[in-house]
Structure 1
Amino acid sequence: MALAPFEWKDKPALIEHLFPVQKISAESYKEQMAGSGKTLTALGSYWKGRKPLILNKACILGSLLPATEDHLKDLEIFEMLMGMDTETMKKRLEATLPFSKRDTVGELLVLPYSEQVSKAKRSEELGDLLYAHIWSRVNRHLDTSANSISELVEQMGIARFGRRPKVADVFSGSGQIPFEAARLGCDVYASDLNPIACMLTWGGFNIVGASKEERANIVEAQKKLIEHVQKEIDDLGVEKDGGGWRAKVYLYCVEVVCPQSGWKVPLIPSLVISKGYKVIAELIPIHIEKRYDIKIRYVDSTEKVELAEKGTVQDGDLVHSPDGITQYRVSIKTIRGDYKEGKENKNRLRMWEKADFTPRPDDIFQERLYCIQWMKKKPTGSKYDYEFRSVTHDDLKREQKVINYVGKHLEEWQEKGYIPDMVIEAGDKTDEPIRTRGWTHWHHLFNPRQLLVATFVQKYLSAYTSYILTSILDINSRVCRWNNSESKGAGGNTSNTFDNQALNTLYNYGTRSLGNMINFFFPQYKESSIYGKWKVFTHSAQKINEENDIYVTDPPYGDAVKYEEITEFFIAWLRKNPPKEFAHWTWDSRRTLAIKGEDEDFRQGMVAAYRKMANNMPDNGIQVLMFTHQSGAIWADMANIIWASGLQVTAAWYVVTETDSALRQGANVKGTIILILRKRHHELETFRDDLGWEIEEAVREQVESLIGLDIKVKAQGSEGLYTDADLQMAGYAAALKVLTAYSRIDGKDMIAEAEAPRQKGKKTFVDELIDFAVQTAVQFLVPVGFEKVEWQKLQPVERFYLKMVEMEHQGAKTLDNYQNFAKAFKVHHYDQLMSDNSKANSARLKLSTEFKGAMISGDAEFAGTPLRALLYAVFELSKEVEVDDVLLHLMENCPNYLPNKTLLAKMADYLAGKREGIKGTKTFKPELEASCARILAEAIRNQRL
């Protein structure tokens, strides 16, 4: 029997009650590690802020599925639909094994889930056939009649909203959320202020989601494009040497006059051209002309390569020696003429003009071609021979031919929109090329050869090949560094413009020839079916005016990438002459309208956006808000925004979405907080004194519910669903759910309080309430073995250490867990407690043997605490100090020893239990820690005073 329209109208969504975050984290990590193998990356790898498609799928299905009284069955069905059940995992593992080894799958299925995932195919790689076995059980549980995900999604949408579900993302970015929603069978509304984001979103639907016939047309358009461009380049005759060799890479460097010596010197940070081929650049002084010739040499030893590592740029200085004796050293800032005028940084650089594309003769920074890598197809097969060569007179003639050709046509090409004429607007990221090089227009970031190829591509552009243009711009600009690789394959390569999210100018860089870019004309787009209808718009989030049932958003926040600035790099090329499919979009970054930062404008912009979304969804609509936090203030800001938007938190989850490479020294690791939001329907009032009991009760119910489900899952022989970090986040959610249900607290209008401007350094009423709620949630998570009163007697840093010991025992390894708990417990220097070898996905606390005698006394948070004294005692036992002496030292080091004696014994027992059974290494010995802690616990209990 089919579900009736609105039959589930008032049923809570599954994601509001359970969400297997540990499994979803493992799946998300697997997808992030796929790199270029990810489904949408080929459309534009320069867009870095991509939420995993598997996470988006989980959020959308979790928002449609109902939560029933049978949570175990709900979980089973959800995992089937996600491809995470045992039978589906078996298929995913088999797909990675040769046929002869498929009988070993059973051995893999007993591994922890994260290890199974690491060895399996991603579920999206195997398609709909993966789900053939699930439909009878799914339909029986849900009263549906589906035979595919898209059919099920439509039926669930009708049961919940009376129609196929409409999903919206008004911060669409790279299009990950809209694409996954449409792939599941939802109708989709996607918008973004940034036209490059809209282009990527459109590409997901129309290229990755293209039919076989459409894909054939796309391939044909790609072939025609390369044929046109190749003919234009070949007709000019500027990439061949006449001897059968075609250029692969041109290496350029900046050249300046040294003010100390008067010599013209090339700025090359490293004289190593190729480590793999053992090629170096040798500077040959031409004394009569006070300049250097550059000779490219193959050397016969690694030592000679290493000697060439240091070039003429060292620690920000120009360094050279024309006679090999006298060394000249001068700061490049001095050469550039840097100075301050008031608070403004200035220099003596000439600002380039619209007609410039090469330096003028009297400019401080000149540019020089100093090496060419050539390639020649081998007589057999498709492989190439490669050669690095010094620049010859004929090479310079070809170079001048390119310069002359571009110079002759520049004005015409700019008029037609083939080459940008757009000014670089000053900004956080865009100041760099203006300040350091005097570049004022976007085409200044491209040299003549780069302009030539990009222009020829632009002349024959269509909507389907515009992604080739943006890829070529990304891999071929003046800010593409040359990597002198160890590889013996190509001998080196040029990096992308956006290998980081900045526009850092370079002293030397690589330029690809057309022959070295052929692969980019035939990107390997993935294939996926799109089942839902879709719309893409360029407008701000506040401008949405259509009702949607589910909003899934990953908004800009905090120190997020400034796409409104850096994508002008691409916008400049497309704005005057976009393909007709994109012509109705606004081809401008509209920086002033972009929501960004952490200041008052950010909060107001976000409130306006989420209030508009709330107004444009049905009463039973649901919002999934993702944010990757790097500062505690963002969490508070999000709560303020939700309150002021008329929304209420109903659940929160934390998913690890970043890889080890995301860890930068001094930066927090990124995971994704997922908040589930509903409209706040009632005007409720309460007082802060009453909130404590209500919050504690809500936290207790939420945590006990998840622990109960976890126990049931383990009883079936499966891995647990939740760690303490997950329970902590669920506790936050329960606390916020209570808070955000109220419109008035202590007589104050909470919307007005949430919208009130912040005063720097001063906590608002809302901040205080959130702190109170969070602390209430944290206090409830008392480890087994401690009484609540005992737990509260401990210093925050002690609670943090003991809580993380428990998490390590549970197998948690990610550094973000430590960061989150440190914030919750208000531990300011948690890093002092961490092992020196901690990485993003392999972190741990120091053992007592690693602390040794550090932080026994002093100003550190840990110094002078009973736990620190206890750990020192454990360390002494590991060094075979007599037990009586250890106890004597413990009494001296521990403040108020007698009142704390019972608690010390309990902490020692706790440490012993949590360190047992953990795999050690030569330097990490938890079993020794456990043994010593056990001995110490007995000694403390048996001590007679």
Structure 2
Amino acid sequence: MQKTNITLTPLSLKDAPALIETVFPAQKVSFEAQSERKAVQSQTLTGLGSYWKGRKPLILVRAIVLASLLPATDDAEADLAIFEKLMAFDDEGLARRALAANAFSASKLQEMIPISDPERYFGGRGWRRDITDDDKLALYRVALGTLSSYEEKAGIGKRPEEVEHSWLYAPVWQAINRHYAHLGISVHSLPELVEQLGILRFGHRARVGDTFSGGGSIPFEAARIGCDVYASDLNPIACMLTWGAMNIIGASPERRAEIEQAQSKAAATVDREITELGIEHDEQGNRAKAFLYCLESRCPETGWMVPMSPTWVISKTRNVVAKLKPDFVKRRFDITIVSGVSVEDMKAAEQGTVQSGDLVYELDGKIYRTPIKTLRGDFRQADGTTGNRLRHWEKSDFKPRSDDIFQERVYAIQWISKKTLNAGRQETWFATPTDADLKREQRVEKIVAENMSRWQDEGLVPDMAIEPGDETTRLYRERGWTYWHHFFNSRQLLTLAYFKQALLESQTPAYLMPSFAKALDWINRGCYFGTGAARESISHLFANQALNVFWNYGCRSAYASLPLWGVTNTVHGEISSPCITVKSLAADGITEDADLWITDPPYADAVNYHEITEFFIAWLRKNPPHPFDDWVWDSRRALAVKGSGEDFRRGMVAAYKAMAEHMPDNGVQCVMFTHQDTAVWGDLIGIFWAAGLQVIAAWYIATETTSELKKGGYVQGTVILMLKKRAAGERTGFKQRLLPAVRQEVARQIETMMHLNDAVEAHHGEPVWGDSDLQMAGYAAALKVLTAYTRIGDEDVTTFALRPRARGEVTVVDEIVQQAAETASSLLVPEDLTADAWGRLTGIERFVLRMMDMETAGAGKLDNYQNFAKAFRVTDYTRVMGDMRPNNARLKRVSEYASRDLTDATEIGVTRLGQLIIALQQLLKDTEAQVIVEQLRAEMADFLEVRTLLVDMLAFIERKAPESEVRSAAEVLGARLKNLRFGD
């Protein structure tokens, strides 16, 4: 790291508030985080293994670290501008990102902006050869100025981490040094800035810690920008991924070249050994690419063995199908692969022999149907436990025995022509297995059978039993598998055993371990074979976070598996940190200090990593190379913090208390969690309270464009909670005094942020925060007040946090958080609606009008609707929703409300807004306006008092409704009500 010759005053920022306590551009961070997620497999750390889905976006981690180190000054707007420069969110950074992506062609630029001397820039159809990046940037800056929103500007460019940093940040350092000149800061790179800020705040380079390191994104990004790093996790797979992020993804170019050479050498060794065995080549020298397997089972009605697959389509692009031909002698079906079939044959093949949980097939013109539950012999005992007749496989098993209910067979092979094996475009085809192919299959099985015991003893193949669990018990129930190697067929076991041997014999075995784990995800019996419009493909097991098993699956050949043994992500900027520690420890067992703890802890509906990672642990636990040999290679399920309830709270309190004890008094903790359940939110607050921490800020980040962890109608959002140690001493609060204090603090926080919003919007055309951010700040303000106390009434906070909850119990925390949300929401009056009118609305009315206002600004994220529904205490917001898709959510249009939606039995139906919706529907059906007014007067006992409110709501609908006819109707009805003369 380059050193600077300036004099800093260590600890001069010791007690200074951090930028993130007052300013954080949550909307821009959200957009950038989603852009990173959309990169899918191109995300920086997924090359280590995309099976770990819970990684937080690197751009979010960078934003949190920098905003926690930077000081807040009296000029919040200037602080924000500096921070956005450091994140490449500013106009100059966006222009450079767009240029790096070649976002505008020469012709596009000339269409977008007037260029007085185009010949200076362009020649022919493109740029002149002698044009410089500075010349291009001059035009890009002007062109970006024609785009209206941050999303448009950022969406056409590369992500900041994809752009060469010395060029991207070249214009930033002068502004940074000028803004912080009073602190003595003088820097020319991000690591220098991070080091100097650490010295000013903590007396040394800042150390970032994460005790739930998971996929490693938090420690990786902290190390990449120059922090010292401590990372730990109870799970050794998480530790391996974190170590791999630092030492493989973040390695120097020279080291990366050495790693890639070792990977290539191991792959070549295995390829040579498989070739010598002759188990993947046919007699003409063609090489297998994939083998397709299916289960088969005996029909209890006919006694025939029936192949099992939900579809017999193999390739849509080449019209390839598998056809079943009955063999009446052997009472089974032959499977023939046919290419170039008709459209009718393709359609017929789409209907497989597994349909809606039944085995279905045709024989002699008759359809036979047997529930698969019947085949398995499922039963339920008197005590409620379930079971079936499947034999539980034993340690020596790797294929079904002859009398097992489910058998397995190879039914198709995809071949690569030997002439095109090394060509850029290979010639491939699917074929029916021949007798020679089946003999090669038997040879593989013989090799595995002869070596299984030795391989297991040497750790080349697992011998670890599958423990029962939420995810793992299904393997007993659905297949009878009881050991982890049962997840792999004979070909897969052979390939992986050879690769494991090559790994152990390598000079750098630790560097090959993450690649081996990644390969396990793609080489197993849980790899679904699918067909699409473009190609046929074999998926990986952890395409979602479940241990799914299929009736048919695809098996990559050893040759086709070779590309899995590399990690090829390109990273701009190797790891800058000189000090990195990775340990396998429980979160409450830490012994090292950190200045800034950033964690993404487990919570109620989190993924069961402690179970599913045993799939990998089983292969890696024997003879792990250094430094992995210092870790406990077991998932340690009993010690994992998981689920919810009392054990979850106790484990979390112990973890966060340990972190609080291992940070300085001016240290900061950042906790990220995806809030789905308000009860979990309440639990987490109690946890931090009992751990001696006080909330100082909260921000809401929309981190996902779709849910990777679950399928459902919501977008995942991440809450960023910032905490510090609570001041020493006893402090008792009482509910009746807390509520007014909360209201006051929430109002102060919201008003401060809205003032900054107005100032920034006046200069740049866009506000800093949206309604969700302001609402979350209201939560933070309430929790800031609440977590400052050590006792609430007669109860100390630790006792409160840990005591069991009664079903349906509403705690003081629940009440205060809810009131904070309501207070914040009451202050967020939609534009074009008076504060007086807003104050007179019910919760469901506020919800509908607020979301109408947000929809006019282009909002379509379902999590916005969920957040405001909670804040306004809407019982069932889905009744007023027209679309529940995660990124295309919207309210019902006036015309879409059915009569049943607007009765006295519905939440909206009993409101004045509900009556106005009915009135507008009648007006659209040509009912006279005067008749409608008389109906409203007759139905509303308080008509005279609410008439002005009705007029205000109609005026709002007139401006915000998306349908022109509804706007016109609202104008007509509003004018009639406004001009109504009483006494007529």
Distance of 2:799 and 2:295 partners within structure 1:
56
- Aligned partner of 1:251 in structure 2 is 292
Distance of 2:709 and 2:446 partners within structure 1:
46
Distance of 1:478 and 1:672 partners within structure 2:
34
Preserved CA contact (<8 Å) 1:371 1:391:
yes
Q: Tell me how far 1:687 sits from its aligned partner.
A: 2.1
| SS of residue matched to 1:639 | helix
Q: Tell me how far 1:944 sits from its aligned partner.
A: 2.6
List aligned pairs for 1:763-842, cutoff 5 A.
763-784=810-831, 790-836=837-883, 838-842=884-888
One-letter code aligned to 1:217: E
- Aligned partner of 1:383 in structure 2 is 425
Distance of 1:253 and 1:866 partners within structure 2:
61
One-letter code aligned to 2:76: H
Are 2:496 and 1:454 aligned? yes
Deviations 1:753-783 (A, max 9, x none): 1222212222234333433443333334344
Preserved CA contact (<8 Å) 1:432 1:505:
no
Match of 1:399 among 441, 444, 462: 441
- Aligned partner of 2:189 in structure 1 is 148
Q: Tell me how far 1:833 sits from its aligned partner.
A: 1.1
One-letter code aligned to 1:764: T
Distance of 1:942 and 1:510 partners within structure 2:
73
Q: Tell me how far 1:856 sits from its aligned partner.
A: 2.1
- Aligned partner of 1:918 in structure 2 is none
Distance of 1:412 and 1:200 partners within structure 2:
29
Preserved CA contact (<8 Å) 1:299 1:305:
no
Fraction of identical pairs, as percent = 48
Distance of 2:346 and 2:89 partners within structure 1:
50
Distance of 1:674 and 1:38 partners within structure 2:
22
- Aligned partner of 2:113 in structure 1 is none
Preserved CA contact (<8 Å) 1:785 1:910:
yes
Q: Tell me how far 1:332 sits from its aligned partner.
A: 0.8
| SS of residue matched to 1:583 | helix
List aligned pairs for 1:105-144, cutoff 5 A.
106-109=142-145, 110-129=147-166, 130-143=168-181, 144=185
- Aligned partner of 1:61 in structure 2 is 66
Preserved CA contact (<8 Å) 1:93 1:105:
no
Preserved CA contact (<8 Å) 1:547 1:617:
yes
- Normalized against structure 1, the TM-score is what? 0.96
Preserved CA contact (<8 Å) 2:210 2:218:
yes
Are 2:92 and 1:87 aligned? yes
Are 2:975 and 1:933 aligned? no
Q: Tell me how far 1:429 sits from its aligned partner.
A: 0.5
| SS of residue matched to 1:660 | coil
Distance of 1:893 and 1:796 partners within structure 2:
21
User: How well do the aligned residues superpose, as a CA RMSD in angstroms?
Assistant: 1.8
Preserved CA contact (<8 Å) 1:856 1:863:
yes
One-letter code aligned to 1:677: L
One-letter code aligned to 1:744: R
Preserved CA contact (<8 Å) 2:17 2:71:
yes
- Aligned partner of 2:115 in structure 1 is none
- Aligned partner of 1:182 in structure 2 is 223
- Aligned partner of 2:556 in structure 1 is 512
- Normalized against structure 2, the TM-score is what? 0.92
Are 2:576 and 1:531 aligned? yes
Q: Tell me how far 1:99 sits from its aligned partner.
A: 6.5
Are 2:205 and 1:164 aligned? yes
Are 2:787 and 1:749 aligned? no
Moved more, 550-559 or 737-746: 737-746
One-letter code aligned to 1:335: L
Q: Tell me how far 1:697 sits from its aligned partner.
A: 1.5
Residues 224 and 895 (structure 1 numbering): CA distance in 2 closer, same or farther, change over 3 Å?
A: farther
Preserved CA contact (<8 Å) 1:654 1:726:
yes
Distance of 1:757 and 1:230 partners within structure 2:
58
One-letter code aligned to 1:107: A
Distance of 1:384 and 1:889 partners within structure 2:
75
Distance of 2:968 and 2:898 partners within structure 1:
17
Distance of 1:893 and 1:394 partners within structure 2:
85
- Aligned partner of 2:124 in structure 1 is none
Are 2:369 and 1:329 aligned? yes
Residues 73 and 135 (structure 1 numbering): CA distance in 2 closer, same or farther, change over 3 Å?
A: same
Q: Tell me how far 1:664 sits from its aligned partner.
A: 6.2
Deviations 1:449-493 (A, max 9, x none): 000111111001111111221121111111111102222xxx411
Q: Tell me how far 1:382 sits from its aligned partner.
A: 2.4
Deviations 1:404-436 (A, max 9, x none): 000000000000000000000000001111111
Match of 2:772 among 725, 735, 742: 725
Match of 1:372 among 398, 413, 416: 413
Q: Tell me how far 1:212 sits from its aligned partner.
A: 2.0
| SS of residue matched to 1:443 | helix
Q: Aligned residues, how many?
A: 931
Deviations 1:764-823 (A, max 9, x none): 343334334433333343445656565444321112112222222343321101101111
| SS of residue matched to 2:96 | helix
One-letter code aligned to 1:127: E
One-letter code aligned to 2:369: R
Moved more, 95-104 or 618-627: 95-104
- Aligned partner of 2:378 in structure 1 is 338
Distance of 1:475 and 1:620 partners within structure 2:
46
Moved more, 763-772 or 518-527: 763-772
| SS of residue matched to 2:671 | strand
Are 2:899 and 1:857 aligned? no
- Aligned partner of 1:45 in structure 2 is 50
Distance of 2:792 and 2:814 partners within structure 1:
13
Distance of 2:939 and 2:544 partners within structure 1:
49
| SS of residue matched to 1:673 | strand
One-letter code aligned to 2:878: D
Preserved CA contact (<8 Å) 1:372 1:389:
yes
List aligned pairs for 1:562-581, cutoff 5 A.
562-581=608-627
Q: Tell me how far 1:352 sits from its aligned partner.
A: 0.4
Preserved CA contact (<8 Å) 2:933 2:977:
yes
- Aligned partner of 2:917 in structure 1 is 871
Residues 498 and 302 (structure 1 numbering): CA distance in 2 closer, same or farther, change over 3 Å?
A: same
- Aligned partner of 1:441 in structure 2 is 483
| SS of residue matched to 1:83 | coil
- Aligned partner of 1:920 in structure 2 is none
- Aligned partner of 1:922 in structure 2 is none
| SS of residue matched to 1:716 | helix
Distance of 2:64 and 2:919 partners within structure 1:
48
Moved more, 197-206 or 268-277: 268-277
| SS of residue matched to 1:320 | strand
Preserved CA contact (<8 Å) 2:904 2:910:
yes
Distance of 1:750 and 1:540 partners within structure 2:
24
Moved more, 526-535 or 224-233: 526-535
One-letter code aligned to 1:468: S
- Aligned partner of 1:33 in structure 2 is 38
Distance of 1:43 and 1:222 partners within structure 2:
13
Deviations 1:28-67 (A, max 9, x none): 1110001111111101111111111000000000100111
Distance of 1:20 and 1:935 partners within structure 2:
42
Distance of 1:300 and 1:293 partners within structure 2:
18
Match of 1:198 among 239, 257, 268: 239
Are 2:60 and 1:24 aligned? no
List aligned pairs for 1:496-507, cutoff 5 A.
496-507=540-551
Are 2:485 and 1:485 aligned? no
Preserved CA contact (<8 Å) 1:319 1:327:
yes
Q: Structure 2: where are the runs of 5+ without partners?
A: 1-5, 110-135, 504-508
Distance of 2:439 and 2:217 partners within structure 1:
47
| SS of residue matched to 1:835 | strand
One-letter code aligned to 1:863: G
Q: Tell me how far 1:105 sits from its aligned partner.
A: 5.5
Preserved CA contact (<8 Å) 1:270 1:312:
yes
Preserved CA contact (<8 Å) 2:527 2:553:
yes
Match of 1:611 among 653, 657, 670: 657
Moved more, 806-815 or 580-589: 806-815
